[in-house]
């Protein structure tokens, strides 16, 4: 009989994947946040709705934990995983809130690239959720996330450098740089939350290898 990481009486893996699906949907909206004004408004609304659904699901997971017979070790791991996923969702909402609150004269290509990188990393992490008790398969996806994370870190540096290389011909140009610096900072924070989630998943997979 195969060893199960979490108790069978509560379908935690299904809950994890449902939570992750909401986050992945939200990540997919980030690219639109950097599109037209109308697209950005719609994307921000969608992200807010998805976050509300994720918050409700998080409470349900905690309720299931309180009712289920699980060891303190498993409880700790479940708690850490769902909160790490929730942190990513919150960070995505903050990116959308910051970018959606501004009007930009131009949108650097790096913003959309970073948003797509974030979604790709989350897709890889999502693939690990049904495989937490099979270390080899999890590691394959984690390696992809690490590689993408390194590329995103380099892109963040390029994006920041490009901002300050722009000519400043008016106060509006200065304001544009300030606004984009704030958005890129939020994107960096979101990517850091994705990295933190990857570490939580790796820690769980090692513990139960």
Superfamily of domain 12-207: Phosphate transport system protein phou homolog 2; domain 2 (1.20.58.220)
pLDDT confidence of residue 140: 92
137 phi and psi angles, rounded to 5 deg: -65, -35
Residues 6+ apart with CB under 8 A from 33: 39, 40, 43, 44, 47, 95, 96, 99, 100, 115
How far apart are the C-alpha atoms of 29 and 99, rounded to whole Å? 12
> Under a CB-based contact definition with an 8 Å cutoff, are residues 135 and 209 in contact?
yes
What ranges do the domains of the chain cover? 12-207
Average pLDDT over residues 62-75: 73
Which tokens is 7 given?
A: 């108790």
* Residue 196: count of CB within 10 angstroms of its CB: 15
pLDDT confidence of residue 25: 98
Cβ neighbourhood burial of 190 (10 Å; 0-12, 13-18, 19+): buried
- 92-111: per-residue pLDDT in tens? 999 999 998 888 878 888 88
Instruction: Give the highest mean pLDDT range of 4-13, 80-89, 127-136, 199-208.
Output: 80-89
Which tokens is 187 given?
A: 């994107």
Kindly provide the b/e burial profile for residues 6-38, where b requires at least 16 CB atoms within 10 angstroms of the residue's own CB.
beeebebbebbeebbbbbbbbbbbbbbbbeeee
59: closest CA among 84, 76, 77, 79?
79
pLDDT confidence of residue 71: 52
Tell me the torsion sign for CA atoms 105, 163, 121, 188: negative
133: DSSP letter? T
> Under a CB-based contact definition with an 8 Å cutoff, are residues 23 and 54 in contact?
yes
Average pLDDT over residues 133-162: 88
User: What is the four-CA torsion angle of 141, 142, 146, 148, rounded to 10 degrees?
Assistant: 30
How far is the CA of 166 from the CAs of 119, 159, 169, 177, 190, in angstroms?
Answer: 28, 11, 9, 9, 25
pLDDT confidence of residue 68: 76
pLDDT band for position 144 (50/70/90)?
very high
pLDDT score of 135 more than 80: no
- 6-39: per-residue pLDDT in tens? 545 667 888 999 999 999 999 999 989 988 888 8
7: DSSP letter? -
């Amino acid at each position: 009989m195969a060893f199960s990481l979490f108790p069978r009486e509560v379908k935690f893996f299904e809950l994890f994947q449902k939570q992750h699906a909401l986050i992945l949907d939200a990540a997919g909206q980030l690219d639109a946040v950097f599109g037209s004004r109308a697209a950005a408004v719609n994307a921000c609304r969608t992200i807010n709705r998805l976050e509300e659904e994720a918050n409700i699901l998080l409470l349900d997971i905690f309720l299931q934990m309180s009712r289920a017979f699980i060891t303190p070790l498993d409880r700790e791991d479940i708690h850490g995983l769902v909160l790490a996923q929730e942190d990513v969702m919150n960070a995505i909402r903050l990116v959308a809130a910051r970018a959606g609150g501004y009007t930009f004269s131009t949108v650097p290509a790096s913003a959309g690239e970073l948003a797509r990188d974030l979604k790709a990393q989350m897709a890889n992490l999502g693939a690990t959720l049904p495989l937490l008790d099979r270390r080899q398969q999890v590691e394959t996806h984690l390696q992809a996330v690490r590689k993408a994370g390194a590329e995103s870190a380099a892109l963040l540096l390029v994006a920041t450098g490009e901002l300050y290389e722009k000519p400043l011909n008016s106060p509006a140009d200065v304001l544009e740089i300030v606004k984009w610096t704030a958005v890129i900072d939020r994107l960096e924070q979101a990517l850091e939350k994705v990295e933190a989630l990857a570490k939580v998943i790796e820690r769980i997979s090692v513990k139960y290898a």
